[in-house]
Amino acid sequence: MSRIKQETRRTDRLTGSVIVVALVSAVSGLLYGYDTGIISGALLQIGKDFDIGHGWEQVIAASILVGAVIGALTCSRLAERRGRRGTLLLVGIVFVVGALAASLSPDPVTLSISRLVLGFAVGGATQTAPVYVAELAPTAYRGRLVLFFQIAIGVGIVIATIVGASEVIDWRVAIGMAAVPAAIMFGLMFRLPESPRWLLREGHADRAREALARVRHPESDLDEEFGEIEDNVKAEKQAKTRGWAGLKAAWVRPALVVGCGLAIFTQLSGIEMIVYYTPTILTDNGFSESTALRVSVALGLTYLIAQLIGLTIIDRVGRRRLTLLTLPCAAVALIVLGSFFVTGNDGKSMIPWIVATLIAFMAFTAGGIQLMGWLTGSEIYPLATRAAGAAVQSASLWGTNVLITLTLLSTMKAIGTGQTFWMYAVFNLIAFGFLYKKMPELSGRSLEGIERHLADGTFTPADLTRR
């Protein structure tokens, strides 16, 4: 047994190509976090430069999210038809063009259109990169590479908030800086092959085996792994329920309801109003710009730390349990936060308490439900409908994000800042009720086991209890 374990460690060790795969995963996540987070501090400068109000600020912030919906749906189909690698090369080019165009925009209209283009790349990357990485990575490293993507999102948000808080970097430079990692990702893609699984599905067996050999240790057992890929591709082609049409099947519907519901509630939790608009909300309520931007950095760091903790404990605690434990805590934090503003206790003397409550909310949300939005898309759907299901779930997440971003500042102006926080507290409680009734425990379950429960009609919290 010890000889077998030593052999496994020897043949599964990291190769140069796998390290490049990890970098592609990390850079794509970093770009997602940075490009969506940089607008938080930049809006303070953009509003002054273009002399615009909250209406235009909402459009500028939301345009990248509209593009992300389009990118997620378009690139999902493109990756299936033209390949994962080719799609990511296109995404890399769009990232560079979008970032540079946004940084050079002469007016809010051009800026909004440029961020729409940039959003296409964000949505395409978040849809395609995890699939590509999962199909290239050795089994022993697949989970860690997914972790890289998730953590890199938090790192991107932290960098964005630090850049914004510096107050010395012009917003054009801050937005344009995203072109650098995008160009790096584009360059790295030339060192990697197309997905062996996609090549095999398209009938290119020799090229698929060659691609697999490029990302494996020379002494790895290619025959065994290639045989498994062949079996999976054959099973997918023979499946009666497959692709986008397969999502309409009654037995798949419970997964779609849970997946899309979870994606929607990750946004209705209120995290995006904190990530995008914290400086704007705080300055509108009498905080200085410097204080507001420093708070934004603290929240970005909290997001990253909470994600790291959540990812460390998620398999021990369980996806369902962790989500249900943190949602009520996030709701309480929003209720307290809203009370400060409704009762007029939002002056300078209350700044430490307001900041502490914001950090508590961010910790419970980022370390709980925010982990589930992307994670479940890769595991909850049957194999033959997984790509389509993940695309719909991603579009649900981005679409909800668009609605929130387009309406948040107007809602605060109409009903009040504190009342808006209370409204999102209610959304958290509704999410708790929905997930308590609908979301089964997925931790510790194989993908095949989850699919069997769907097929048997036992995809419920009662049937999939954690053992």
Please state the domain extents for the chain.
15-192, 241-467
Distance CA 151, CA 442 (A): 21
Distance CA 300, CA 375 (A): 20
Distance CA 384, CA 238 (A): 9
- What's at 173, amino acid-wise? V
Residue (of 405, 325, 400) closest to 369 by Cα position: 325
Distance CA 401, CA 395 (A): 10
Measured between its terminal Cα atoms, the distance across the chain in Å is 28
Architecture of domain 241-467: Up-down Bundle (1.20)
Cβ atoms within 10 A of the Cβ of 248, count? 11
pLDDT at 467: 46
Distance CA 137, CA 145 (A): 8
> Angle CA(214)–CA(197)–CA(314) in degrees, nearest 5?
95
Residues 6+ apart with CB under 8 A from 444: 315, 318, 466, 467
Distance CA 44, CA 292 (A): 10
Residues 6+ apart with CB under 8 A from 267: 397, 400, 401, 404
In CATH terms, are 15-192 and 241-467 the same topology?
A: yes
Q: Which residue has the tokens 């994962």?
A: 84
pLDDT at 207: 92
CATH 3.40.50.12780 fits 15-192, yes or no: no
For residue 2, CA distances in Å to 5, 8, 168, 221, 429 come to 5, 10, 58, 18, 51
Helix axes 54-82, 271-284, angle to 10 degrees: 160
> What does the DSSP 8-state code read for residue 195?
-
Average pLDDT of adjacent 10-residue blocks, the chain of 467 residues = 42 69 85 86 87 87 88 86 90 94 94 94 85 76 70 88 84 93 91 88 89 82 82 76 82 90 91 78 80 85 90 84 94 94 81 90 91 76 80 86 85 89 95 93 76 84 67
